[in-house]
Amino acid sequence: MSQGRPIKNVTNPDRIGSYFRLEAGPLLLVTVSGLLYNLGMLAGPYFEGQLVQRLFDIINGNKTFASMVTLALTYLAVILIVQVMRAIKRFYVRRFANNTSRNMRHMLYNSLVNMSKVELEQEDLGAVMTKAIADVDACVEGMRKFTTEIFDTGVVLVAYLGLLFFYDWRLAMLASLFTPLAYLIAGGLKTRITRYNAEYKKSAGRLNNATMDRISNAVTYRIYGREQNRDQAYEAHLQDYEQRAVLANLWENTMQPLYNIISMCGAVLVIYFGARNVQGSGWTSWDIAAFTTFLSAFTKMALKSSKAAKLFNAVQKAQVSWQRIKPLMKAYVVPNTNTTLDFSRPPQLEVTDVSLRWPGSTWSLNAISFSAAPGQIIGVTGAVAGGKSTLGKAFIGEVPYQGSIRVGDRELSELSAYERSRLIAYLGHEPELMSCSIAENIRLGKQESIAAVLETVCLDQEIAQMPQGAATSVGSGGIRLSGGQQARTALARTLYNAGPILILDDPFSAVDRRTEQAIFRNLRRLAKGKIVLLISHRLYLFPDLDRVLFLDNGSGIFSTHAALLKENNAYARLYRAQMAGGEQHD
């Protein structure tokens, strides 16, 4: 994919340390350049002091002009090296963040795409989105700042402190007394900053949900004339967001100058006692260079220590985000495609004494038995009690079953998800289209030709009329296609990817009857050697089916259309009612 920088799978993705460990390379570069840069930072104040001293000496006639040139050039060379180190550190800290953001998103998406429909329906869609996208950014930003500040604050503080103690340890001690005070205040304010930040985040989440709702339901709100009312509600969300954003920012941003002032109280002592040092009445004896260097280094240290608060904030913020990402972070799942099955031989389907129950529902199907051989199309329909879709969903593992469903010589519940997907193709009521082209929707990454399936679902001519043909984008959720076109695209996709068994749950509900019949004829041809379970409430195709499973009062009767028509009153009634009512349609 990306040259030499592939996305990495993270082991122990629910530990923040894993992401640091994974980026050892960039972080090593950051460490080396960061140490060199931050130690080199001392060169600034040191040389500036020396330059001023040299000027003083030249004015007084103690040094030559040439010595100033040498000093100035040395100064420049040192700064150049330091700044090159800085550029390297800056870039690799950002690369580290960029890599981490990519790895986190990659891991999050992996755990998302491997969640079942049931699991996902328990999650609020908007919340998952905010979690997955906004929080990764905030979290990585915190990690980046943390990494940056370890060097820019931690290392630099130690270096400066060393320099100050070298010049005058008593003055350094005295002047630095104010810095811990700043830290103390920073610690005290930490909880407050976290709280305001969390509230701000929550408000942002609410606003995002409201935005999503206002936009995705815009047409519904328009139809019912609710747009103005919704805009007012949105305005209330905006108001709330504004207030919380200002509060959170206020606590976070404006404390820094205050810390700085507290730390800088030491500067008064530095100037007063430093001047005495220069005049020879202090603790040690200083020249002007020492005075300038000391004051300049102290100022920079005070500024840095005030940024230490920023470090806490960044870490706090990252923690808030990380706490929300963490539960979503699961070990990387590589779909298991190991199998001992021989897919070349079309299997038999043998359903014996199967009972079904939706979790949490009282309704159930009892003792359903039927069988199918390759090449057969089995119709499944039901009268009053229904349960057709539930039966279909049992085949894709969404509804647990009791009894036995044997596919070839294997029990369905013992098949891996991969084996099941290779054996059984399923199409439900939702077309479940992606916002890419028609062709991509059908192929989903495979490369074989789609011409045959398009013809089967009677979509070939319509597509030929579209300016971009099969490359036409279907829009979000297939919105740019008509309902019938969506259904047929989905059917084409299922057929394109079909294994030996096809479960089609009412695939023609959005298609008119003439098209339905044409598709059915084509399907017969295409599905030769396959088992098709056609779940439908419309019965006019049923006379042409090989077998019919009629679900009635929770049990199933497996027979042929002709026999059922003769022997089963409920089935006969249903069929005749539809034939009488439906005829007007054509």
Q: Per CB under 8 A, which of residues 458..477 are in contact with other proteins?
A: 462, 465, 475-477
For position 205 contacting other proteins by CB under 8 A, the verdict is no
Q: Please pick, from the candidates 59, 362, 447, 461, the single residue that binds other proteins as defined by CB under 8 A.
A: 59
Ramachandran angles phi, psi of 346, nearest 5°:
-65, 125
**Residue 13 found at the interface with other proteins (CB under 8 A):** no
Of 314-343, binders to other proteins (CB under 8 A) are 333, 335
Q: Does 410 bind other proteins (CB under 8 A)?
A: no
Mutual orientation of helices 255-279 and 288-325 as an angle, nearest 10°?
Answer: 160
* The binder of other proteins chosen from 35, 39, 84, 161 (CB under 8 A): 84
Residue (352 or 464) nearer to other proteins, CB: 464
Q: Which lies closer to other proteins via its Cβ, residue 39 or residue 58?
A: 58
Q: How many residues contact other proteins, by CB under 8 A?
A: 171
**φ and ψ at residue 545, rounded to 5 degrees:** -85, 155
Q: Which of residues 564-583 bind other proteins (CB under 8 A)?
A: 577-578, 581-582
Closest contact distance (angstroms) between CB of 443 and other proteins is 9
Going across the sheet that includes 401-407, the strands are: 364-372, 349-357, 401-407, 410-411
* Residues of span 163-202 touching other proteins by CB under 8 A: none
Question: Quick check: 250 and 189 in contact, CB under 8 A?
Answer: no
Contact set for other proteins, span 262-281 (CB under 8 A): 264-265, 267-269, 271-272, 275-276, 278-279
**Residue 477 DSSP label:** G
The size of the chain, in residues, is 586
Task: Retrieve residue 99's tokens.
Answer: 């890599």
Distance CA 547, CA 370 (A): 9
Residue list 367-406, contact with other proteins (CB under 8 A): 382-389, 396, 398
Which of helix, strand or coil describes residue 502?
A: strand
| 356 Cβ contact list (under 8 Å, min separation 6) | 364, 365, 368, 387, 390, 391, 394, 399, 400, 401, 402
CA distance 313 to 361: 49
User: Which residue matches tokens 């069988």?
Assistant: 371
24-43 exposure pattern, b = at least 16 Cβ within 10 A, e = fewer: eebbebbbebbebbbbbbbb
**Measured between alpha carbons, how far is 256 from 157 in angstroms, rounded to an integer?**
17
Q: Which is nearer to other proteins, 42 or 352 (CB)?
A: 42
Q: What are phi and psi of 558, to 5 degrees?
A: -110, 115
Q: With respect to other proteins, which residue has the nearer C-beta, 82 or 352?
A: 82
Single residue of 35, 39, 174, 258 touching other proteins by CB under 8 A: 258
From the list 418, 517, 518, 546, which residue makes contact with other proteins (rule: CB under 8 A)? 418
Q: Residue 392, class by beta-carbon neighbours within 10 Å (0-12 exposed, 13-18 middle, 19+ buried)?
A: buried
Within 10 Å of residue 13's Cβ, how many Cβ atoms?
24
Candidates 158, 261, 451, 563; binder of other proteins (CB under 8 A) is 261
Rule CB under 8 A: which of 505-534 touch other proteins? 505-506, 509-515
Report the alpha-carbon distance of residue 385 to residue 322 in Å, rounded: 48
Q: Which neighbouring-strand residues pair with 357?
A: 364
Shorter beta-carbon distance to other proteins: residue 352 or 361: 361
- Stretch of 261-269, 401-409, 522-530, 559-567 lying at the interface with other proteins (CB under 8 A): 261-269
Binding-site member from 31, 98, 284, 560 for other proteins (CB under 8 A): 98
Which CB sits closer to other proteins, 221 or 283?
221
Smallest gap from Cβ 96 to other proteins, in A, equals: 10
Query: Shortest Cβ distance from residue 245 to other proteins (Å)?
Result: 5
For other proteins, the binding residue among 12, 191, 249, 413 (CB under 8 A) is: 249
Q: Interface with other proteins includes 307 (CB under 8 A)?
A: no
Q: CB under 8 A: which stretch of 154-162, 221-229, 372-380, 402-410 binds other proteins?
A: 221-229
Going across the sheet that includes 424-427, the strands are: 424-427, 501-505, 531-535, 377-382, 547-552, 555-559
The angle formed by the CA atoms of residues 430, 434 and 439, to the nearest 5 degrees, is: 105
Cβ-based burial of 168 (10 A; exposed 0-12, middle 13-18, buried ≥19): buried
Which of 352, 448, 482, 544 forms a contact with other proteins (CB under 8 A)?
482
Determine, following the binding rule CB under 8 A, whether residue 35 of this chain makes contact with other proteins: no
Q: Is 87 in the site for other proteins (CB under 8 A)?
A: yes
- Judged by CB under 8 A, the residue of 15, 117, 192, 202 near other proteins is 117
* Among the residue ranges 69-77, 188-196, 319-327, 403-411, the one whose residues contact other proteins (CB under 8 A): 69-77
Residue closer to other proteins by CB (options 32, 129) is 129
* 1 touches other proteins (CB under 8 A): yes
Residues 434-453, mask of contacts with other proteins (x by CB under 8 A): xx--------xx--------
Q: Coil, strand, or helix at residue 71? A: helix
CA distance 390 to 359: 11
Distance (Å, whole) CA 378 – CA 557: 12
Using the minimum distance from each CB to other proteins, give the nearer residue, 268 or 367.
268
